[in-house]
Structure 1
Amino acid sequence: MAVNQLEDVVQRWRTTEDFKPEDHELFLNAGRTCIAQGDIGQLLDFIKEEDNQHIVRSMGSGLLPALVNEVLRKDRSPAHCQAILNQLVQICNVKELLDILLHQVENTDPNAISDSIIVLMPLIQSVLLRMSESKAPGLALALESLQKQISKLPVPYSHKQKQEDVHGLCRCCTAVLTFVQPFVQEAKNQDTNSVSTKLRAALLKFCMKSLSEPLLQVQLDREANMTEMSPLWNFATEIMAILAEIQESLPKMLFYDPLRGKEDDIEEGGCHPNESRACMAYLLFVQLIAIEVFPAVFSPVFVLQCNMEYINLLLSRKDESWILKGLDLYVKSLERVTDYSLPAELLELRPFHEVPQNLIKIMIDCPIQHLRARSLVVFQLFIEKLNGEAKHKFFRRLMKTSHHAGVESIIIKNIRNQVELCRKSAYKDGWFEGTWLISLLRDTITLPQGHETDLLHGMDRVMESLNLLRYLLIKERDISTGTWIDLCHIAESYTKLLRVCLSMSKSYYGKEFKRLREDKKIKAKEFKEASGKRSVQSLIVKNETLGSMPREAQEKVLQCALVTYDLMESLVVRIEEIIEESQK
């Protein structure tokens, strides 16, 4: 066996500590041969022998890579390898050990990341615990290397994926918590000194990095985790607990630094502090993790104002997990605010201006249906939290800038709801009565492109506008307010232009519908040739060229358009009747 090969030189080694390069090479070759041949028990005996301790102390660290690889093989009992590893990390030079172990972490097989770092973490921890002044820098390097590898692991989303943990992210998160605990306790228990301060900085950087990766990608559900604690939920809980233990003030981290536009020095190196703080806000206010240690002295409007920066960041990304967290954080922040209390001045602040725009983008462009539906609910909740002046200004601004009929129809519907609220309750709001209402209607009840407006594309806005006019004319006629004349002028101007558009659109769509019906009578070959030449080429319906649709779909669209125009015309007739009846 390989150990026997050393017998001739062991006696010389036992009487000297001046080992030459050839001695190192001989020792490592013999040790690696023992490992490869399975003679690990005898190698362990050699390592443990008291007379050999100075030999192992000087040359043993070089065996670490081969021993770690043997443990990872799993086809032979790793007990002896693990025992040798434990012995080496307790007696060899700590700097050499840490360098070799971190090199192992950084060069981990991409297909065995979780298994490798789970084996390496206890070894690195043992080495770090032996350090004194260099402990904090060593911890910072170790955590950076470990998190770099952990961040490569796919995040499990479904409950089944989390249970199976195929790629090992859940196991790694649990293991890294065990890894940092001794250092958390040391940083917490020691008085403020240079080592303690540096430990806190290293742990703080670790926590902030963990918040951005993987916790921003993890889907968390408080109710589900109350019955079955998942590793990732536990990881989020422990990260927030560590932050609360090593930081003097969570509110300072979360609120005051962003308001001053500053970043913490400990976030150097691309740890994305705003992303981390956004996740912290989500864990606090949505999942209520660590909320029991968060002071309850901040006003709901202040909390909302601070969180808007994070909400804006989350909603500006295209990742589903980010958007969901942004929407949930927005809802929880808004729900804390009393109805009708957000003033118009807040709308001028950048996040309050940008967040609704991001919501609108999600409502319009997001390919995921449940996110579109969720964003619409949140958008409506935001509107309901504005006071009268803020609503009035927000509606006016959006009608000028949204350029989307669906969004504009939502605003017009909210105008009606606001007017109706004033009519049916003791709540009065001058911003939706009298001259302020008329002023808003002049900007709202319009056809943006005049007589060239595509009524089918703008159907939602037109129908809501007509319904609002009919409602207002009936209510104003019944209560005989001073705004009646102005309202009639707006209605007459709008319906007059709308009739022109309706006449042109019905004529054009009617001809196309008739032509499609006639084309059905033509033989298949003639129909194929004619369709390429005479199909509708320029007409756009809901951002899709009609001519690119199958002929059956074109026929349905045209038929739907004609029915829609009949509905619009019936509302126009009713509005004209109300005005005429009032003038008799």
Structure 2
Amino acid sequence: MDTQEFISSVEKTLKEKPEDAINILRDPINSEVLGKCCWELIPRLSANLTEEYYIKNVNIYDCTVDLLLEIANTANPEDVFFEFIELAEKQKFFRSFINILRAIRILLMRAPQRRGTSISWCCSAIGHYLSEINLPQNSKLEGDEELILENDVQFQLVEEVYIEVLDFFSPFIEEIESGNYTVSEKHIDIYKDTLLKYLLKLFGHPLVSTYLEHSNNKSAFRRIAEKILQYIACFHIDFFSFLEYATFSSKENINLESEFNNLSLGVFYYLILVEGLYINEISHVYSNLYLFRQILWLCLTLMNSEDSRAHWKGLSLAENILKRIVEKELDFKKIDRFQSQEFVQLCSKIMIYSDSKRNRQKAVAIFTTFIRIFNPCGRYYLLLCIPEKIKEPGLIGYLSVKAKDFIAEALLRKNLEELKYFNGKCLHDLIKKFCSLENDTETDLMRYADQIVPSLNLLRYLVLRDKTNFTGIFDLIPILEKTYFSPLQKAIEISRAHYNLQKKEIHQSSGDSNQKFPTAVSVGGENLPEFSLEQKLQILNNALNMFDLIESLLTRLTECINDQS
């Protein structure tokens, strides 16, 4: 029987009598022809490995898998190894990937002398498959609630793949742990190095998007993460030694060809430092400043992800390393400015835009702590540069509050080193960031109220506290009168008139207080949806009350200025 007749016979039997097909491969008469045509038979059989085929004819699918495993057990490993690797790289259906992975492990175990160099191809195929997995997002679930996601079919499939991947690595880890190698002696180092690097990569996507926190009901993915750490511990290395590979980029570098990437290293150190896994086995010989610099790159990558669960891990890791730094310890001139700017920007975005409440809350706390660990120069620089990058009124208002706190602390201590960043031109530049109207007199005061109110409070504090004009605040008053106070008063008058007009239009549109009206009402630059008359009036009255508050603060500030003068 020639090779084509043999392949046709296998395919025909597989369709007509699936269970008998394997007997053709096991028949000693066909051993020679099987050896000659394996490279062609494998891709022909792979046509049956799709999810659609599994659904339509599971019997033929299962028998096809049996045939491939039989080939892995009997064929020359060197003849079919790359056929199976190519097959693994093409798979989309998780069951097929798992079964091909089992076949590849059989081949590796049968050819130990080649395993030292061949293992990298297998790891690469695993990494490629994991990188293609997508997990559903649900930012409404937080903390232990995320365990519910493990009932999702997609999460269960990912769990099954990870379990199979760990099973794939198991015999090789046992070999490393025992020290009894069957691989070629000259390949032992590269063999160990390859396994270690790919075990670390398993912490990246999609494990980064799973629930890994300690809880009474330990999640399946937490158990998987602990198993990976257990495997890595078998290499008896210093866990902190990988910090030197943290790359100087916040972008989510998950290049499959790179030896290390920030995403997987970030999860690795999250498990150690935040979750406390294997923390007692680490030799703490690294300075806190070194840990801060290196781990912050990993935090940036996690926080720059589009996944809220990655954000939580990045924030938690940042919180851990920030606790190691004493307030005002960092000299801004000696740290990476790009790194610091990136961190506060990403932290700010999570504070403002994240759908996750606990992420927002943690980001606010970390944001404040981060600024406070810098010396006065660093604090000033961050307060000055953040509004340039993120022009969100609420954030700028928050920075005004922080600036007021720092100035108050410096004045209380009479610390000239700190005060030099909050007087004269430095103070002027800072005030310009906080005390500005986006569209002059036409500024939407409802949108910018969170910036305006704190800025007026800051100015009033300075006027009342600095009676000797040490900070130079009174030198700025003439400028502020022209650029801020006067336009703001005019904006209040325009906004108040606009909102009063909208109230009048609503009253005139109908006498029925319970029906909905087509009259368009705009607040904060956005048209309101169809509300009842009472609801619309309540919203407009709230806006008018805000205008009254701003005007009251402005009036009080003016009085304070006049009194001091």
1:91 aligned onto 2:53: no
Which position in structure 2 is the counterpart of 1:131? 111
Asked if 1:240 is matched to 2:229, the reply is: yes
Match of 1:282 among 270, 274, 297: 270
- Verify the 8 A CA contact 1:495 1:572 in the aligned structure 2: no
Structure 2 spans left out of the alignment, 5+ residues: 138-145, 511-516
Is this contact kept in 2: 1:509–1:558, CA < 8 A? no
Deviation at 1:306, TM superposition (A): 1.0
The verdict on how the C-alpha distance between 1:509 and 1:164 changes in structure 2, with shifts beyond 3 A counting, is: closer
Taking structure 2 as the reference length, the TM-score comes to: 0.77
For residues 129 and 575 of structure 1, what CA distance do their matches in structure 2 show? 80
- Following superposition, the deviation at residue 581 of structure 1 comes to 4.8
Deviation at 1:557, TM superposition (A): 5.9
CA distance in 2, matches of 1:435, 1:75: 73
Find the counterpart in structure 2 of residue 28 from structure 1. Answer: 10
> Highest relative contact order (Cα 8 Å, sep 6+), 1 or 2?
2
Which residue of 172, 175, 178 maps to 2:161?
Answer: 172
For the pair shown, the structure with the greater C-alpha radius of gyration is 1
Which 10-residue stretch deviates more, 498-507 or 68-77? 68-77
Task: Report the alpha carbon displacement of residue 281 of structure 1 after superposing the two structures with TM.
Answer: 3.2
How far 1:574 moved relative to its partner? 3.1
CA distance in 1, matches of 2:167, 2:54: 20
Q: Distance in 2 between matches of 1:135 and 1:335?
A: 45
Q: Aligned ranges for residues 527-538 of structure 1 at < 5 Å?
A: none
Structure 1: 5+ residue stretches without partners? 1-18, 525-530
1:148 maps onto 2:134 in alignment: no
Alignment CA distance shift 1:442-1:231 (3 Å): same
- Is the aligned partner of 1:219 residue 2:211? yes
Correspondence for 2:505 = 519
**Does 1:336 find its partner at 2:336?**
no
- Deviation of the 1:412 alpha carbon: 1.5
Q: Would the aligned equivalents of 2:401 and 2:458 in 1 still touch at CA under 8 Å?
A: yes
Deviation at 1:504, TM superposition (A): 1.9
Identify the range of structure 1 (370-379 vs 95-104) with the bigger mean alpha-carbon deviation. Answer: 95-104
Q: Is the 8 A contact 1:251 1:294 kept in 2?
A: yes
1:5 alignment partner in structure 2: none
CA 1:257–1:143 in 2, change beyond 3 Å: closer, same or farther? Answer: closer
Q: Note if contact 2:376-2:421 (Cα within 8 Å) is conserved in structure 1.
A: no
C-alpha contact 2:88 2:101 (8 A) present in aligned 1: no
* 1:565 matched to 2:547: yes
For the 8 Å contact 2:212–2:225, the answer to whether it is kept is no
Query: Partner of 1:483 in structure 2?
Result: 469
**CA apart distance, 1:380:** 1.4
Deviation at 1:187, TM superposition (A): 4.5
Q: Which amino acid aligns with 2:174?
A: Q
3-state SS in 1 of match to 2:203: helix
Residues 446 and 543 in structure 2, CA contact (< 8 A), matched pair in contact too? yes
Aligned match of 1:16? none
Structure 2 letter corresponding to 1:315: M
Against the structure 1 CA distance between its residues 310 and 296, is the aligned structure 2 distance closer, same or farther, given a 3 Å change threshold? same
Report if the CA contact (8 A) 1:212-1:276 is conserved: yes
Give matches, 1:443-522, under 5 Å. Answer: 443-446=429-432, 447-449=435-437, 452=441, 454=443, 455-477=445-467, 482-483=468-469, 486-491=472-477, 494=480, 498-520=484-506, 522=508
Please tell me the residue identity of whatever aligns with 1:563. N
Counterparts in 2 of 1:546-557, with a 5 A limit? none
**Residue in structure 1 matched with residue 142 of structure 2 by the alignment:** none
Alpha-carbon distance in structure 1 between the residues aligned to 2:371 and 2:271: 25
Matched with 1:200 is 192
1:430 alignment partner AA: L
User: Offset at 1:415?
Assistant: 2.0
- Report the equivalent of 1:392: 380
Identity of aligned residues (%): 17
Name the SS of the counterpart of 1:318 in structure 2. coil
CA contact (8 A) 2:456 2:553 kept: yes
Q: Which amino acid aligns with 1:175?
A: E
Is the Cα–Cα contact under 8 Å of residues 463 and 564 in structure 2 kept in the other structure?
no
Deviation at 1:343, TM superposition (A): 1.7
| 1:181 lines up with 2:170 in the alignment | yes
* 1: CA distance, partners of 2:117 / 2:357: 47
Asked if the contact 1:35/1:66 (under 8 Å) is kept, the reply is no
User: Alignment partner of 2:329: what SS?
Assistant: coil
Does 2:99 match 1:119? yes
Deviation at 1:146, TM superposition (A): 3.9
Residue 206 of structure 1 aligns with an amino acid whose one-letter code is Y
Out of 61-70 and 140-149, give the one that drifted further.
61-70
1:318-329 aligned at under 5 Å gives the runs: 318-329=306-317
The CA RMSD measured in Å over matched residues stands at 4.6
**Matched letter for residue 209 of structure 2:** Q
The Cα of 1:130 is off from its aligned counterpart by 0.9
User: 1:274 Cα shift?
Assistant: 3.3
Cα deviations by residue, 1:52-94 (Å, 9 ceiling, x for unpaired) = 6474465288688499979978977999999987765443322
CA contact (8 A) 1:314 1:325 kept: yes
Q: 1:397 to 1:273 in 2, by over 3 A?
A: closer
Distance 1:82 1:398 in 2: 58
* CA 181–569 in structure 1, closer or farther in 2 if over 3 Å, else same: same
Distance in 1 between residues matched to 2:381 and 2:54, nearest whole Å: 65
**Letter in structure 2 aligned against 1:59:** L
How many equivalent residue pairs?
Answer: 533
CA contact (8 A) 1:183 1:199 kept: no
SS in 2 for 1:441: helix
